[in-house]
Amino acid sequence: MFRRSLPRLLQLSTRTLPPNSPATPRTLVVLHGLLGSSQNFLSPTKSILKELGPEWSAVLLDIRGHGTSPPGSPCTILDAASDVHSTLTSLSISPTAVIGHSLGGKIALQYLSISPSPPLKTWSLDSFPLPLPRPPPIPGDNSVASILSAVSTCPRTFSSKSDLIKTLTEDHLLQPSIAMWMTTNLKRFETGGFEFTFDVETCNNLYDSFTVEDLTDVLRDSQEDVTLLKAERNEVWEGIEEERLTGGNERVKVRTLEDSGHWVHVDNPKRLVEMICEDLKSIP
């Protein structure tokens, strides 16, 4: 049972695009997934802004315990969304649209439910809004559970990036591509060597919350536009009727990104950007 008391709010690290730009009429907020950082969606966000034009800017956040944002546990999806609200409020930002991938997608939906000035558009990218029981980690299956188990049990420091790759591929049987991606989550000590940029305890807390939270009530009650984007090759969506997700709310659309697995911004970035821009351009 996850607590519902008032969360301890954290000020999150932000990255603004274009850098040092003056305030624009419309702002896009972007939330990354578990074990990631704002760096993950930098390229597609730049493409989105290029297509939308100069009246748009973007703010990419590092959620708690990730990137250069502070850790904080115990914590839930609600805590993470409250961080987003508090941080944006401190910056006098009321987002026009919010995009979140995976864990960030569920945080985006929770933010929609608590914001006094909810975004006009919310995109949840391959983020299952229903409870999703945490599976046991199976070495070599490259699931989120297995990746999180690997980083939770492997050493916290590494002599080199190749040291991390060797540990993850040989000891935990992760794919080399996953291990290479994990090296983007390392920071260098001044004295040499590396450590993870994310806080493992915070990540485990957020993942546990992700697996038990049911945010379909947010979808059914939303007065603003929401798009649930399913990755075509993600089997978790199979057999789930749209009505179960949306409750028939016409403000909520369920769409599919073809030729894509869970990493939508890597597998089919061109079509992803096109779909998002088509929707955001419809804002009066």
255 CB neighbour count, 10 Å cutoff: 11
pLDDT recorded at residue 7: 55
Distance CA 272, CA 264 (A): 7
Q: Describe the strand order of the beta sheet including 194-196 as a list of residue ranges.
A: 157-158, 194-196, 186-188
Contact call for residues 195 and 186 (beta carbons, < 8 A): yes
pLDDT tens, the chain, 284 aa long = 334 444 579 999 999 999 987 888 999 999 999 999 999 999 999 999 999 999 999 999 999 999 999 999 999 999 999 999 999 999 999 999 999 999 999 999 999 999 999 999 999 999 999 999 887 878 778 788 899 999 999 998 999 999 999 999 999 999 999 999 899 999 998 888 999 999 999 999 999 999 999 999 999 999 999 999 999 999 999 999 999 999 999 999 999 999 999 999 999 999 999 999 999 999 99
DSSP 12: P
pTM of the model: 0.94
Terminal CA-CA length for the chain: 42
For 145, the token pair is: 């559970």
Parallel/antiparallel/unpaired status of strands 14-17 and 56-61: antiparallel
Residue 176 — φ and ψ, nearest 5°?
Answer: -55, -35
Which amino acid makes up residue 117? S
Alpha helices, H only, 167-231? 176-182, 200-212, 216-221
pLDDT recorded at residue 5: 45
Contact call for residues 125 and 100 (beta carbons, < 8 A): yes
pLDDT recorded at residue 8: 76
